[in-house]
Amino acid sequence: MGLILFYEVIMRYFFNSPTVWTQEVSVYLFMWCMFGGAAYALQKGKHVNIDLLTMRMSEKKQSLLKVLTSLVGVAFCSEIAVQGWGMIASAVKYQKHSPTPLQIPLWIPQSALFVGFALLALQFVVIVLDEFDFLRTGERPAVQEGGHR
């Protein structure tokens, strides 16, 4: 994405020949990176976390809260993924394309929403399973580095 935008700057300012495709492709790449990276960030525990209240809780209460918030996350992300699937189905059925000279089939960028939120929902399920395991055994796997498997 950075190379595409760099190319656009060179073409626009040095050759006075802007392109028609760089902005659209950059936005689509950004969508894939953002939605694809969200589940990875959640897995590694690198998402935004407000721990002002939770750091004062016992580890068991923290785990119960993680289960509750992760179940809400599963429900929310699953609903977004289902809606994303509907958008993809509609785009394929009606052969929707971007209203730009590239005419990219819209199911391609819309797939980022579905894939990203489906992966997020699955990662929330993994967190719930990990926390249930901790609540059952009282131990956390040694391989965790602040995140989840």
Q: What is the pLDDT of residues 107-132, one digit of tens each?
A: 999 999 999 999 999 999 999 999 99
pLDDT at 50 > cutoff 90: no
pLDDT of residue 147: 60
pTM of the prediction? Answer: 0.86
Cα distances (Å, whole numbers) of residue 146 to 28, 45, 140, 142, 143: 31, 6, 11, 10, 9
Q: For residues 60 and 138, what is the distance between their CA atoms, to the nearest angstrom? A: 8
Query: Would you place residue 146 in the very low, low, confident or very high pLDDT band (cuts 50, 70, 90)?
Result: low
Q: What is the DSSP letter of 97?
A: B
pLDDT at 144 > cutoff 60: no
